[in-house]
């Protein structure tokens, strides 16, 4: 199909214009987190709400629907390969359009309102350390999410309709199956580690690391692995994130802790991994499915890959540790690279997801996945959630939260109506490990390259195999095509076992 | 008229929503000057152009026209006082709407395109120091501005139609008259000063002032005079400016020169003066005429008042000089406050407007006003502009620019289609002086208050008399009402004469 096909050009123009509004809204939100004067919040919400309204109007515009309908039945699209740019554009925009129009506008508005109010109530409930304050808001959100799932429709279970938002083509059954496999390996692995009696001394990470030096060091490291600062920037926020405000404008954030090295360093590598995905997308298809990220799971695979598979590897620190010692000579001059490497890989069951290590992190996710699925299916009442949460933590991690703030109230997601989102974090870990294995096989000797400070071959491989594919393939097919394997727990478990042996010795 | 009048509420809602787009566009522009990654410019232009299109569609929306027509003929509006909120809202929105719809959309587009292209051509012409490269672009701009003036219509001369955009109710004839009076005083004043043989030693301002210390000092000073950093911020840009992104979000910028004190300090006071005007507007009428600035001339009066009438006064430095000596002890410990005060008030004819002193600045403006008026009237051909420029500089300031870059090519305005804008700078100086006199009379002893670091009474006076009036009165009437006098050169000339005597001694 020639690019001059008028209906396809009209479709692209429509999506491109929506993209101007989406990216403007992204700037309003980035600025709110990073630069907005303290009194500016009220009006900023109004600006964002108004832009969201304009975006929703465009995304549910019946002219868009007509265009998509006609194009999807045209020979040009029917005859194109499913992974072609044209078929992908029409299929994915149609998928999104149909999801949007299936939800009645009063339900969409009720959801937006409940999510906005829910987050505010969550903030105070967490501050008061009292789940009961949040319970009515969460009940309303669960109820509305159930209605949303019913409006969208599903084959197997309601949760499918919600998961689909973040992981197109994913199914609850498949996620459940791979998470069961993962859990069946992780829980005994953790038991075994507890029993082995070996300890890691991570106190060196809690020495004094001047924030100005950290800022320079994390910027240097993220640039070295491939985050392009001519097309992006790094700022400080309370909650780190990555956002894109244009094809050449990807912004990441981090937070600094003067007495904990890992917080800013690994946080920045993580966000830089997200950022390098955004920077690796096809700019000429910006705002259109061939130039958009595949799924949240694949997005997370990129952040986890750089944070953990690369950034916590021994070879990475062969290159970076001498620089770290130069930069932080007071804190690190008496530390060996071996000691440092074991410290950054310490494994300890803990209560807070965002502080968890590579092994226990997935258990935090599996708990949330099981709980939110039961809430949506109606098998678990919101009032019984804290008890169910605590039981699951005791069973999986051997610890029980002493209160709601360090338990069921720790994450913002549910209060914001994000249900079906949590599993994408562990899907990211699984994909990351599989992708890394494939890259290592295909490129050969990644570790040796890292030890020399050469991250370009890996970045190029990710650019070509993942980033430039956009949404042309659904996540499962992308995985199959580039790794030759289905999504599975095996690669990640192999990686974690080897990490444990390296960190805790062969008896662990 | 009750606030619940449905048509008036609809009008307010329409303007408020347009305000969300205008303020979002302002953020895109602020970010472009301050934070945008170096490669992000192309997409940023597209975002801004798209928002400008949406804004233009809203501002020329025929439903808006109908609403304004009905309201302006309703008894509720006809019976209201002209300066009331309702009459002001309808009158000013109607004035703007009618100006916009009178310009055919192909002319509006041609102007936007010529201005955008014109600025780019101007940048390279200035870089090449060659007016002839810019001449064809300027010819096109002048031609289009003539067409725009003709489309809008005027009573007396074409220039009126353009001036009206920036100075509602202003007339070329009146501006001309007051500028003639001003010029008739300034030129001999400058001659006399040259003849008196007195010199000011301003070398102390060119010592080393560390930029980090300047940043802290200008922030402290601008906060002290009343710029509210909870509702604003200060950043660094190449060209200083002030923009508002919401009722509680006013952003100013400055630039630092390590070996020139005045650049950042007086630049920040100037922008803080603009910012305090924005911060003093009525937030409950944000985006609506009663909550918008009166005119560019009045806006400039606020920046000039704080920069010159306050910031270059002797009493101001009685308070701030000890702090400046503390902050910049290497540079200022051997300098007396009297020496410093004379240095910051040095008067020297120079070629560049933005570097000019208080006396000569207005001559730079009058030259531009006379030239652009002749261009628009068709009395001066663009090709003859450089020669006319140089002649006027020789006559008024006694110096001739050695080249185009330091002459006719120095300002961006004409290349951006801003014609009728220059006079507002000197109108600002005239209003500033008249307002300051009135405030000093009404409050009493402003100088003594400044010497104690008390700027609140002046700020409150400006808030109540000027800022909170929004667009309820046109600039000339506002001046008459709060000063009891018509716009005139007298107050400014009195101020400048006294400044000259204070700086150069009684023989000057």
**pLDDT per position as a tens digit, B258-305:** 999 999 999 999 999 999 999 999 999 999 999 999 999 999 999 999
- Mean pLDDT of all residues in B373-395: 97
Q: Is the dihedral of CA A396, A397, A403, A407 positive or negative?
A: negative
What is the Cα–Cα distance from B176 to B179, expressed in whole angstroms? 5
User: Do the beta carbons of residue B505 and residue B337 sit within 8 Å?
Assistant: no
Q: What is the separation of C-alpha B30 from the centre of its chain, rounded to a whole number of angstroms?
A: 17
* pLDDT for B300: 98
> How is chain B split among helix, strand and coil, in percent rounded to 5?
70, 5, 25
Residues pairing with A246 in the sheet: A249
What is the Cα–Cα distance from B466 to A86, expressed in whole angstroms? 58
Task: Return the residue matching tokens 């663009």.
Answer: B382
How many Cβ atoms from other residues are within 10 Å of residue B473's Cβ? 20
Of A341, A283, A276, residue with least CA distance to A303: A276
Find the residue in B nearest to A48 (Cα).
B20
With 80 as the cut, is the pLDDT of residue B507 above it?
no
Give pairs for B190-198: CB < 8 Å, separation 24+: B190/B347, B190/B349, B190/B359, B190/B360, B190/B363, B190/B397, B190/B398, B192/B508, B193/B347, B193/B359, B193/B500, B193/B504, B193/B508, B194/B398, B196/B504, B196/B505, B196/B507, B196/B508, B198/B504, B198/B505, B198/B507, B198/B508
Q: For A134-138, A453-457, B103-107, B149-153, which range has the lowest pLDDT when averaged over its residues?
A: B103-107
- Mean pLDDT of all residues in A7-26: 97
With 70 as the cut, is the pLDDT of residue A1 above it?
no
Q: Mapping DSSP to helix (H, G, I), strand (E, B) and coil, where does residue A168 land?
A: coil
Interchain proximity B27–A31, CB inside 8 Å: yes
- Mean pLDDT of all residues in A135-152: 97
Sequence-ordered list of residues with C-beta below 8 angstroms from that of A443, at least 6 positions apart, any chain: A449, A457, A458, A461
What is the Cα–Cα distance from B280 to B291, expressed in whole angstroms? 9
**Each residue's pLDDT tens digit, B158-173:** 999 999 999 999 999 9
**Each residue's pLDDT tens digit, A399-448:** 999 999 999 999 999 999 999 999 999 999 999 999 999 999 999 999 99
What is the Cα–Cα distance from A142 to A139, expressed in whole angstroms? 5
Instruction: Report the predicted TM-score, pTM, of the whole model to 2 decimal places.
Output: 0.95
With 60 as the cut, is the pLDDT of residue B3 above it?
no
Of B242, B244, B174, residue with least CA distance to B427: B174
Interchain proximity A249–B44, CB inside 8 Å: yes
Closest partner residue to A24 among B51, B229, B245, by Cβ?
A: B51
With 90 as the cut, is the pLDDT of residue A248 above it?
yes
Residue A271 among the catalytic residues: yes
* Planar angle of CA B73, B294, B298, nearest 5 degrees: 155
Find the residue in B nearest to A14 (Cα).
B50
> Of residues B59, B244, B271, B278, which has the active-site annotation?
B271
How many Cβ atoms from other residues are within 10 Å of residue A227's Cβ? 28
Task: Return the residue matching tokens 């079906």.
Answer: A420
User: Do the beta carbons of residue B298 and residue B466 sit within 8 Å?
Assistant: yes
* Planar angle of CA B140, B142, B145, nearest 5 degrees: 110
Counting residues of chain A whose pLDDT is more than 90, the rounded percentage is 94
Q: What is the separation of C-alpha B133 from the centre of its chain, rounded to a whole number of angstroms?
A: 28
- Mean pLDDT of all residues in B54-82: 95
Q: For A7-11, A74-78, B367-371, B504-508, which range has the lowest pLDDT when averaged over its residues?
A: B504-508
Interchain proximity B28–A31, CB inside 8 Å: no
- Mean pLDDT of all residues in A298-320: 98
Using a CB–CB cut-off of 8 Å, the residues of A that contact B are 17, 20-21, 23-24, 27-28, 31, 35-40, 42-44, 46-47, 50-51, 54, 228-233, 245-250, 286
* pLDDT for B194: 87
Confidence band, pLDDT 50/70/90 cuts, at residue B4: low
Q: For A455-469, B105-119, B476-490, which range has the lowest pLDDT when averaged over its residues?
A: B105-119
User: Do the beta carbons of residue A404 and residue A131 sit within 8 Å?
Assistant: yes
What is the Cα–Cα distance from A506 to A498, expressed in whole angstroms? 9
Closest partner residue to A231 among B24, B37, B47, by Cβ?
A: B37
What is the Cα–Cα distance from A5 to A9, expressed in whole angstroms? 6
Of A395, A403, A405, residue with least CA distance to A364: A395
Closest partner residue to B28 among A17, A24, A230, by Cβ?
A: A24
Of B222, B475, B495, residue with least CA distance to B357: B495
* pLDDT for A116: 87
Interchain proximity B47–A24, CB inside 8 Å: yes
What element of type H or E holds A84? none
* pLDDT for B365: 98
Q: For A466-470, B44-48, B477-481, which range has the lowest pLDDT when averaged over its residues?
A: B44-48
* Planar angle of CA A252, A257, A258, nearest 5 degrees: 130
With 60 as the cut, is the pLDDT of residue A2 above it?
no
Q: What is the dihedral of CA A220, A223, A228, A231, to 10 degrees?
A: -20
* pLDDT for A506: 83
With 70 as the cut, is the pLDDT of residue A176 above it?
yes
Structure tokens, A233: 């920037």
Using a CB–CB cut-off of 8 Å, the residues of B that contact A are 17, 20-21, 23-24, 27-28, 31, 35-40, 42-44, 46-47, 50-51, 54, 228-233, 245-249, 286
Confidence band, pLDDT 50/70/90 cuts, at residue B328: very high
How many Cβ atoms from other residues are within 10 Å of residue B408's Cβ? 24
* pLDDT for B413: 95
User: Do the beta carbons of residue A47 and residue B16 sit within 8 Å?
Assistant: no
Q: Angle, to 10 degrees, between the axis of helix A211-225 and the axis of helix A314-327? A: 140
Counting residues of chain B whose pLDDT is more than 70, the rounded percentage is 99
Average pLDDT taken over every residue of chain B: 96
* pLDDT for B1: 46
* pLDDT for A4: 55
User: Do the beta carbons of residue A214 and residue A263 sit within 8 Å?
Assistant: no
**ipTM at complex level:** 0.94
Average pLDDT taken over every residue of chain A: 96
Q: Mapping DSSP to helix (H, G, I), strand (E, B) and coil, where does residue A74 land?
A: coil
- Mean pLDDT of all residues in B116-123: 91
With 80 as the cut, is the pLDDT of residue A134 above it?
yes
Interchain proximity A37–B249, CB inside 8 Å: yes
Task: Return the residue matching tokens 């650019």.
Answer: A463
- Mean pLDDT of all residues in B239-260: 96
How many Å is the maximal CA-CA distance in chain B? Answer: 69
Q: Mapping DSSP to helix (H, G, I), strand (E, B) and coil, where does residue A103 land?
A: coil
With 90 as the cut, is the pLDDT of residue A136 above it?
yes
With 50 as the cut, is the pLDDT of residue A63 above it?
yes
How many Cβ atoms from other residues are within 10 Å of residue A62's Cβ? 9
Q: How far is B281 from chain A (nearest CA, A)?
A: 15
Q: Is the dihedral of CA B183, B184, B187, B192 positive or negative?
A: negative
Interchain proximity B20–A46, CB inside 8 Å: yes
Q: Mapping DSSP to helix (H, G, I), strand (E, B) and coil, where does residue B280 land?
A: helix
Show residues of chain B in contact with A36, CB under 8 Å: 249
Q: What is the dihedral of CA A399, A403, A405, A408, to 10 degrees?
A: 60
What is the Cα–Cα distance from B161 to B98, expressed in whole angstroms? 12
Structure tokens, A74: 């045209």
Cα Rg, chain B, nearest whole Å: 23
Interchain proximity B47–A20, CB inside 8 Å: yes
* pLDDT for A402: 96
Task: Return the residue matching tokens 């600039």.
Answer: B475
- Backbone region of residue A354 per phi and psi (left: phi > 0; alpha: psi in -120 to 50; beta: other values): alpha
- Mean pLDDT of all residues in A176-200: 93
């Amino acid at each position: 199909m020639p690019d001059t096909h008028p209906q396809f050009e009209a479709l692209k123009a429509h999506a491109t214009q929506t993209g101007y509004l989406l990216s403007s809204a992204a700037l309003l939100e980035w600025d709110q987190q990073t630069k907005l004067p303290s009194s500016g919040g009220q009006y900023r919400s109004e600006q964002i709400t108004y832009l969201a309204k304009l975006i929703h109007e465009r995304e549910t515009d019946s002219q868009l629907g007509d265009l998509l309908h006609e194009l999807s039945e045209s020979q040009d699209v029917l005859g194109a390969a499913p992974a072609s740019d044209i078929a992908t554009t029409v299929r994915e925009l149609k998928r999104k359009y149909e999801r949007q129009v299936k939800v009645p506008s009063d339900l969409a508005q009720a959801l937006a309102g409940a999510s906005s109010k829910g987050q505010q109530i969550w903030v105070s409930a967490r501050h008061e350390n009292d789940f009961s304050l949040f319970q009515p808001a969460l009940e309303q959100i669960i109820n509305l999410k159930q209605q949303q799932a019913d409006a969208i429709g599903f084959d197997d279970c309601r949760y499918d309709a919600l998961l689909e938002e973040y992981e197109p083509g994913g199914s609850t059954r498949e996620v459940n199956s791979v998470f069961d496999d993962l859990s069946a390996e992780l829980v005994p692995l953790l038991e075994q580690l507890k029993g082995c009696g070996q300890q890691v001394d991570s106190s060196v990470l809690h020495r004094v690391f001047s924030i100005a030096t950290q800022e320079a060091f994390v910027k240097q490291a993220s640039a070295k692995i491939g985050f392009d600062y001519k097309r992006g920037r790094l700022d400080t926020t309370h909650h780190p994130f990555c956002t894109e405000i244009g094809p050449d404008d990807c912004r990441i954030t981090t937070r600094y802790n003067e007495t904990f090295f890992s917080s800013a360093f690994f946080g920045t590598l993580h966000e830089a991994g997200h950022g390098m995905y955004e920077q690796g997308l096809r700019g000429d298809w910006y705002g259109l499915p061939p130039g958009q990220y595949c799924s949240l799971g694949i997005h997370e695979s990129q952040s986890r890959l750089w944070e953990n598979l690369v950034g916590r590897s021994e070879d990475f620190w062969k290159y970076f540790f001498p620089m770290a010692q130069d930069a932080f000579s007071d804190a690190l001059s008496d530390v060996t690279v071996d000691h440092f490497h074991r410290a950054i890989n310490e494994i300890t069951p803990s209560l807070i997801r965002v502080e968890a290590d590579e092994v226990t992190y997935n258990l935090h996710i599996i708990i949330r996945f099981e709980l939110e699925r039961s809430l949506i299916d109606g098998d678990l009442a919101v009032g019984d959630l804290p008890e169910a949460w605590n039981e699951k933590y005791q069973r999986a991690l051997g610890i029980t939260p002493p209160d709601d703030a360090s338990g069921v109230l720790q994450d913002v997601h549910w209060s914001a109506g994000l249900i079906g989102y949590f599993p994408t974090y562990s899907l990211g870990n699984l994909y990351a490990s599989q992708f890394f294995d494939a890259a290592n096989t295909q490129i050969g000797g990644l570790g040796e390259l890292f030890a020399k400070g050469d991250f370009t071959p890996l970045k190029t491989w990710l650019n070509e195999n993942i980033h430039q594919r956009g949404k042309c393939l659904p996540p499962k097919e992308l995985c199959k095509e580039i790794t030759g394997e289905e999504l599975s727990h095996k690669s990640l478990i192999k990686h974690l076992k080897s990490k444990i042996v390296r960190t805790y010795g062969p008896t662990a």
